[in-house]
Amino acid sequence: MSETIALPRLEEDVQPRLAVRRVLGVARDAWPRILMPLIIGIASLGAWEIAVVVNDVPPWIVPAPSVILATLLRDWHTLSVSLWITLQITFAALAVAAGLGLLLAILFAQSKWIELSLFPYAVILQVTPIVAIAPLIIIWVNNVKLALLICAWIVAFFPILSNTTLGLNSADHNLRDLFRLYRASRVQELFLLRLPAALPLFLAGLRISGGLALIGAIVAEFVAGTGGQASGLAYRILESGYQLQIPRMFAALFLICVTGIVIFLVLGLIQHLLLRHWHESAIRREG
């Protein structure tokens, strides 16, 4: 009498194990990324606090972190308004840079002659110091916020354009030949092949441009703030320096640093969420 061998139901057995391993793997990788920078940051702040207290450094030279925190809480109403103005300029510049960068990259991908003709001018915008041309832009543009937006856009524009153009031109040539073999239109090739291939590089450029947009906004605010026409965080730094309110200057610098870190992390999260299921750079390998 033959015996029947029961084969395991692979799908039911393997899937829960893979899910558990995935969760444990993500947790195992996430904790070092959070704890190690946190430990170093707390240790650095502690050493800073001790050095200032032990050496009796006056706050108008180098304030202690506790003094900076107290100043931040005390002047939060003023600093938060300035932070909001800086954020408006930063995000508006990033949005314009992303939109124009993507559209121009698509235009460059359609014609090599257009790319060869216009790309050098994008390079000129990139290599021209924004500090040198910001005063001219502020003079030429009557609206101060629009002038600040233009300055921040100039700084943030090039990485998106360059990365997206590279991504569009890096689509697999064998797949492009396959699209032509099946007589796909240029629009179909663009949306079904070249744009998905360029998405990782576009997101990488966007991640870089997020911080550059903040830098451009701060630099432009410094220039505009010399005339008292801006009220962003850069203007608060200038104002605090003129009044020798060094703790408030450090508080404004702290807000700028935190803002840049948050922008970088949020854009990194967006990049991970959009690529995690299909792109090699974001797919987590099971051990």
Amino acid at 113: W
Give residue for tokens 């990049």. Answer: 271
Q: Which one, of 277, 265, 149, lies nearest residue 207 by Cα? A: 265
Domains in the chain, CATH or no CATH each: 72-275 (1.10.3720.10)
CA distance 126 to 192: 31
CA distance 193 to 179: 9
Tens digits of residue pLDDT in 143-162:
888 999 999 999 999 999 99
Give residue for tokens 């029947």. Answer: 4
pLDDT band at 138 (very low <50, low <70, confident <90, very high): confident
Tens digits of residue pLDDT in 213-240:
999 999 988 887 644 445 889 989 988 9
**DSSP helix/strand/coil, 237:** helix
Q: Which two tokens stand for residue 47?
A: 């050493």
